[in-house]
Structure 1
């Protein structure tokens, strides 16, 4: 059996000590109405950081600076599809978000709000890789 590997780039975008989270559109095929961090798929030929900046601009209408790699992990969405997830710490001076059709809502969330909104898998990754301990967060 031949499987497919998809590289997904995600950002912990921080502005004034809070992290940007987005609520997926209610009509989305995957995790409709679920909360997530900004990001998306790497397209063939793209540089990782360039792709991440593009995805955030498309989804949230803001420009970010990529500060550093936070963590990478992998998981299967089904037996024939593996996701390689690469997460970066990013910052922005642009608090005004303009959502694409992919998302219905956004929040600049505190650490305690992240636990209320994000799914357990993301909370687990954030805990395991020290995201909640970042000095930039309130």
Structure 2
């Protein structure tokens, strides 16, 4: 695959699954303290003071190449909201593929099998502020195709208490419309990333490096 200039510099930093900055050491969920109130037990605090988790996310596309995204906000920054891909933390003892299937079911009600997922197509690490905490998340991103009819009325039955508090809406976005939204979209340059996967993924996992959001 021809390297996208948006991510070529990050990809060149390392051929490892995650490219991380020297001041933010890589670690597994076994490191750090125990459950963190408010954010869930998959978050651990490391020696650097950041809360950390590993996450699985899914780029869900329909038959018209629209992408299903979630809009959420931070309870500590209610005026700021952003669009992001479906997915969440990997539980202890769970692999990323199983976590991706579970998160799609819990957040959207869409039932996928592991065989429906393609990838990982991307990996990335992100440092951000959320819930009045400094957080870092290492993400594995998959791709899946579903008919638009697979997602109808939002089913909140599988949502956590935090998700009930911070998720505002879910909707399909055409790539052209998503490219013009006036709020943040994560991962950055998602439209370009998705277009690079069309019409089909070429089998190469692209490493997007570390970003500060």
Decide: shared fold, TM above 0.5. yes
8 Å CA contact retained: 1:62, 1:98: no
Name the structure 1 match of 2:154.
98
Tell me the residue number matched to 1:82: 136
Between the two proteins, the alignment pairs up a number of residues equal to 134
Moved more, 10-19 or 61-70: 61-70
Distance in 1 of aligned mates of 2:194 and 2:128: 23
Alignment of 1:60 with 2:124, yes or no, is: no
Q: CA deviation at 1:119?
A: 1.9
How far apart, CA to CA, are the structure 2 residues paired with 1:22 and 1:135?
A: 21
- TM-score when scaled to structure 1? 0.77
TM-score under structure 2 normalisation?
Answer: 0.53
Q: CA RMSD in A?
A: 2.9
Whether the 8 Å contact between 1:10 and 1:85 is mirrored in structure 2 is yes
**Structure 1 position 73 matched with structure 2 position 132:** no
1:6 aligns with 2:50: no
User: What SS class does the counterpart of residue 81 from structure 2 fall into?
Assistant: coil
Instruction: Specify the structure having the higher radius of gyration (Cα).
Output: 2
Secondary structure of 1:58's partner? helix
Query: Relative contact order (C-alpha < 8 Å, sep 6+): which is higher?
Result: 1
Whether contact under 8 Å (1:2, 1:80) holds in the other structure is no
8 Å Cα contact 2:178/2:191 also seen in 1: no
Bigger proportion of residues as strand = 1
The alpha-carbon distance between structure 1 residues 107 and 80, as it changes in their structure 2 partners (threshold 3 A), is: closer
Q: Provide the C-alpha distance between the structure 1 equivalents of 2:75 and 2:100, rounded to a whole number of angstroms.
A: 21
SS in 2 for 1:57: helix
| 3-state SS of 1:131 partner | helix
Gaps of 5+ in 2: 1-45, 157-163, 201-213
Large movers: runs of 4+ above 6 Å: none
